[in-house]
Amino acid sequence: MPHKLLVSRLLGKDAQAIQQLIDDETAVLTRLASPFTIQDAYIFIELYNTLGIWVNGELVGALEIKPSGETAYVVGKEHREKGYCTQAIRAVNGNIFKKLLKVNKLWCLIHSENKASIRIAEKCGLEIVYVK
């Protein structure tokens, strides 16, 4: 069955779902609080342009886009390596979406050991700044 991918703004009601996606390993690799609490989820949603990645109505990940264009992304473990994050970033990296968000280009900070995130950024043409 083909999947229906949707990228839309996360709301406070989505906090529990996003908190359940972010395990300790994911939090460390993406520089989020570990353990990632429900309070952290609310902050994650409210602080920036945080978008949910939805597949067939299920939240599978999120994109955070700061006013500087810095982009962070996370996908739940069971949903990785399916291309969802790449599709979502390509959608928001289009001219219309960047104008809506008022950013010129998207870029990301990535831990040098986070090979999956590096691959996604390269596929989507994002500038990468490596961190340790």
pLDDT at 1 over 60: no
pTM of the model: 0.86
Look up tokens 């900070």; give the residue. 109
What is the edge-to-edge ordering of all strands in the sheet holding 71-75? 5-9, 49-55, 58-65, 71-75
Task: Note the pLDDT tens digit of each residue in 73-117.
Answer: 989 888 999 999 999 999 888 766 767 777 888 899 998 888 999
Query: Reduced to 3 states, what is the DSSP secondary structure of residue 63?
Result: strand
Indicate the helix (H) or strand (E) that contains 52: strand 49-55
8 Å CB contact between 84 and 53: yes
pLDDT at 64 over 90: no
* Residue 58 neighbours by CB distance under 10 Å: 12
Task: Note the pLDDT tens digit of each residue in 14-30.
Answer: 999 999 888 767 766 67
